[in-house]
Amino acid sequence: MGVTCVCQVPVAEGKSVQQTVDILHKKLEQLGAVKQGSFCVDCETYHATGNVSGQPSKLLYVMHNSETPLSCLALFEGGPCLIADANFDVLMVKLKSHFQNSKAHKVECRGSRYRYCDFLIKVGTVTMSSSARGISVEVEYCPCVVPGDCWNLMKEFTQSFLGPSVPELPSVFAAKPEGLFAPADSVDTMTQYLELFNKLRKLQIPGSNVR
């Protein structure tokens, strides 16, 4: 577990989502990366019921990552987060009276996983209710634990296969450039995924009140 950066790749002009993903795969294989299976990150949204009227209800996001299959993450956007056992989903079912699942807003990101030297690259298609909304690329540099140290290195690597479009330093890291990226919990990675999912959700549903 090292420093992870999740960024969104725009769909190539005149091509479909699947074709862009294929182009990325080919570029990675040209670089010398080895395919190592697949990955899946998903996110379910729960509305908190029984709130003070007039205030928008808080949204609870429950996320899973195939990298850590035995745990799941529950977080409020910008708020506290909890790392729990996989049985947390069952608990949420029992808490139906307090948290309602909005099944229409389930977001999933699936794709293949590549390994190149000490880098782990995951190229995935973000789908919401079985319609592809965008492409996500997650790059992880495993040996390093301080994001401030290796950001330039990761940027150079990402540019080598994504092209010259410069990914920005994720906001999660801006807060703690010298800090230790706690490898045991994947909070920072999942927060980045959540931001990406929310961005993609807003893109396709402009003007909707449901966040």
Partner 1 sequence: MRLHSMTSSLSASSRETAKMADVVNVGVNLDAFSHAISGIQALRSSVSRVFESLKDGMKNRETLEGREKQFIAEFQDNLQAVNRDLNELERLSGLVGRPSESHPLHNSGLLSLDPVQDKTPLYSQLLQAYKWSNKLQYHAGLASSLLNQQSLKRSANQMGASAKRRPKVQPSTLVLPPQYVDDVISRIGRMFPDMTIELFRPNGTSAVLLVTLGKVLKAIVVMRSLFIDRTVVRGFNENVYNEDRKLDIWTKSQYQVFQKVTDHATTALLHYQLPQMPDVVVRSFMTWLRSYIKLFQSSCQRCGRFLQDGLPPTWRDFRTLEAFHDTCRM
Closest distance of CB 2 from partner 1, Å: 7
| Separation of alpha carbons 194 and 198, rounded Å | 6
User: What six digits make up the tokens of 46?
Assistant: 């729960």
Which residues are near partner 1 by CB under 8 A? 1-2, 32, 116-119, 141-146, 149-150, 152-153, 156-157, 160, 180, 183
204-19-156 Cα angle (round to 5): 90
| Separation of alpha carbons 112 and 40, rounded Å | 9
Closest distance of CB 153 from partner 1, Å: 5
User: Closest CB to partner 1 among 99 and 114?
Assistant: 114
Instruction: Tell me the sheet residues that pair with 65.
Output: 41
Closest distance of CB 25 from partner 1, Å: 18
Please count the other Cβ atoms lying within 10 Å of the Cβ belonging to residue 191: 21
User: Closest CB to partner 1 among 110 and 115?
Assistant: 115
Closest distance of CB 144 from partner 1, Å: 5
User: Closest CB to partner 1 among 166 and 205?
Assistant: 166
Helix (H) or strand (E) holding 114: strand 107-116
| Separation of alpha carbons 197 and 129, rounded Å | 13
User: Closest CB to partner 1 among 1 and 23?
Assistant: 1
User: Closest CB to partner 1 among 157 and 197?
Assistant: 157
Closest distance of CB 182 from partner 1, Å: 10
